[in-house]
Amino acid sequence: MEPFDLAIIGGGAAGFMTAITAAENGVKRIIILEGSAKLMEKVRISGGGRCNITNATWIPNELVENYPRGGVRLLESFNRFAAGDVFEWFEKRGLNLKIEEDQRVFPVSNSSLDVIDCLRKSALSKNVEILTKFFVKEIIKTPNNLFNIFSLKRKKVISQNIIISTGGNPSGYKLAQNLGHSIVKPVPSLFTFSTKEPNLSECSGVSIKDIDIEIRLNTKTFKNRGDLLITHLGFSGPAILKLSSVAAREIFNQNYKFNLIIKWSVLGYEELKEKINYLRLNKGKVNLINSRPVPLLTKRLWIFLLNKIGISKEKKWANLIADERDKIINILIRDKYIISGKGPFGEEFVTSGGVKINEVNFKSMESLICPGLFFSGEVLDIDGITGGFNFQHCWTSGWIAGRAVSKLNNKVTNQ
């Protein structure tokens, strides 16, 4: 059996980028081994079926700030292949992209299937072999530096180099560990918050822009500002997802039970006091339900907040007493919710944890422990916030790994 030049374990975004880059740079025999029956399933379902390819944060120093884990090592990578390079890469291969108002990048067609089609056609055009339902169970490195790759059914593939691009699948961590690597315990990242707050579900679907939120976990406080969405189970939206990413490990350590503080108004205590006093004097005959001190609050949310503090929505502003005024101000600037868990299992798309990054050479994505072994994508202990940043890391690490394998391959060929 003639060995492949490169075997890629995992048929997702990072795996395909690695295969295409390696093939376009002269690597001849490449195979992608995917354990399931479907390729690039996370690409298909991401962004509600639209696929948020990357984020139009063009400057690497600014781009790296969107990764709670990765830091300086990622800056080195993004200086070689950043968001602008990804944008150009896809457009050169016939996939037209657009930048939305919030800087997220999507295909013009709004279809993730077009992203999958672009990657699949690019790989096949370079004669990359693709094998599905090949779940890699074991990898053994031979004395002559080849890798024997065995499936669950003991089918075997031999390769000179391998890349583990299994995303957050536990199988990839196990394979890496068996080849000598240390694993940072994976925990969910980018998830929603659940609460048992009475009647909050009545506000399901309400979305508020530019809200300040914070959580306190032991001695640490995490804050964020962004758009918030109320769901039938609790809270979601960019502000929540980013906070869940930044504080993923601390939230896990507290078993997903903590207090969430929401500031519904950008105004401070004294400013709100003045505004409410104005309403009492100038709109005294108006019911509370019909005149809100914070216009951004929807009527449903305003009614919910009033019920929460025990004030009738039918009360007139002129009849509001000082104690009730203070209750309104306090809930608008510091509304507390007891979070009882994260969203439903499977809702999270990203994992915090994976192969320790100090065991990988980020100039090549090659293992510092096992020569010939490379990594790309989420299998590493790197994760970004919502907005296209996790796919960006997949494209970058795959591109670097693919080029590195091609240099090794060309070196061997020329000897």
Task: Print the domain residue range for 63.
Answer: 4-188+350-414
Which CATH number do you get for residue 406? 3.50.50.60
Count CA atoms within 13 Å of residue 405 on its CB side.
37
Cα 263 off chain centre by:
25
Alpha-carbon span 308 to 310, nearest angstrom: 6
Q: Are residues 75 and 199 in the same domain?
A: no
For residue range 98-132, what is the model confidence (pLDDT) as tens digits? 999 999 999 999 999 999 999 999 999 999 999 99
Q: What is the DSSP string of 306-321?
A: HHHTT--TT-BGGG--
User: Is 347:363 a contact under the CB 8 Å cutoff?
Assistant: no
Q: Are residues 161 and 210 in the same domain?
A: no
Residue appearing with tokens 């240390």:
182
Q: Which two tokens stand for residue 401?
A: 């790994």
Q: Which two tokens stand for residue 15?
A: 């795996």
Q: Are residues 277 and 364 in the same domain?
A: no
Q: Are residues 282 and 208 in the same domain?
A: yes
Alpha-carbon span 358 to 181, nearest angstrom: 10
Alpha-carbon span 77 to 298, nearest angstrom: 44
Cα 116 off chain centre by:
19
Least confident range of 14-23, 239-248, 282-291, 403-412? 403-412
User: Is 64:74 a contact under the CB 8 Å cutoff?
Assistant: yes
Percent of the chain beyond pLDDT 90? 90
Indicate whether 348 pLDDT > 70: no
Closest CA to 241 of 332, 340, 335, 343: 343
| Helix, strand, or coil (residue 372) | coil
- Tell me the mean pLDDT in the region 249-270: 95
Indicate whether 411 pLDDT > 80: no
Which residues have a Cβ under 8 Å from the Cβ of 57 and sit 6 or more positions away? 63, 66, 83, 103
Using CB atoms within 10 Å of the CB of residue 243, give its burial: 0 to 12 exposed, 13 to 18 middle, 19+ buried.
Answer: buried
Among 348, 368, 400, identify where a domain stops.
348
- Residue at 208: amino acid letter: I
Q: Are residues 126 and 199 in the same domain?
A: no
* pTM value > 0.95: no
Count: domains in the chain: 2
Indicate whether 70 pLDDT > 60: yes
Alpha-carbon span 240 to 402, nearest angstrom: 35
Q: Are residues 278 and 327 in the same domain?
A: yes
Q: pLDDT band at 413, cuts 50/70/90?
A: low
Q: Are residues 263 and 387 in the same domain?
A: no
| Helix, strand, or coil (residue 90) | helix
For residue range 177-204, what is the model confidence (pLDDT) as tens digits? 999 999 999 999 889 999 999 999 999 9
Among 294, 327, 348, identify where a domain stops.
348
pLDDT value, residue 349:
66
- What are the Cα distances from residue 234, in Å, to 238, 309, 341, 358? 14, 19, 10, 37
Among 348, 380, 401, identify where a domain stops.
348
Q: Are residues 383 and 329 in the same domain?
A: no
Q: Which two tokens stand for residue 68?
A: 């709670």
Alpha-carbon span 137 to 7, nearest angstrom: 14
Beta strands 360-361 and 234-236, pairing class: unpaired
Q: Are residues 391 and 359 in the same domain?
A: yes
Q: Are residues 205 and 231 in the same domain?
A: yes
For residue range 293-339, what is the model confidence (pLDDT) as tens digits? 998 899 999 999 999 999 999 999 999 999 999 999 999 999 999 99
Q: Are residues 255 and 200 in the same domain?
A: yes
Cα 213 off chain centre by:
19
Indicate whether 95 pLDDT > 80: yes
Q: Are residues 317 and 391 in the same domain?
A: no
Alpha-carbon span 196 to 229, nearest angstrom: 16
